[in-house]
Amino acid sequence: MNKPFGVFEAGAVYYPSGSGANDAVLDASIKTTWLSQIAAMSKGSSNHARISLLMWFEIAKIENSGQARDFALFKSNEVADKIKPMLKAGAFVNNA
């Protein structure tokens, strides 16, 4: 079967430590690396070239256990500043 498909509530999770500026660097690294991998899969591999929709799980939340989990791309300026150029460059657009 060669039909397009969507990936819903996708994301790369970051577990904030609350230690400061290095958190933002690590958060941005985790999310940009994951997005780069998704972009490469959607354009290159024949097994994944039919990804037509990726719906990001844009949330930061506290679980019942008290553990913070951050999936958000645009909550932090440091992360958003790394992500926006990828989106503007069409990293996820496949015109096949």
Q: What is the mean pLDDT of the chain?
A: 81
- 1 in any annotated domain: no
- Looking at residue 86, what is its pLDDT? 85
**Which one-letter amino acid corresponds to residue 10?**
A
Identify whether 93 is part of a domain: no
Higher pLDDT, 47 or 7: 7
The strand pairing partners of 68, in sequence order, are 62
Q: Is residue 60 part of a domain?
A: yes
In a domain, 54, yes or no: yes
Supply the pLDDT for residue 80. Answer: 92
The count of other CB atoms within 10 Å of the CB of residue 67 is 10
In-domain check, residue 20: yes
Looking at the structure of the chain, the number of domains it has is 1
Residue 80 domain flag: yes
Domain span including residue 42 = 13-88
pLDDT digits (tens, 9 = 90+) for 26-62: 999 999 998 888 777 766 555 666 777 788 899 999 9
Closest CA to 10 of 85, 92, 81: 92
SS (H, E, C) 27-68: HHHHHHHHHHHHHHHHHCCCCCCCEEEEEECCCEEECCCCCE
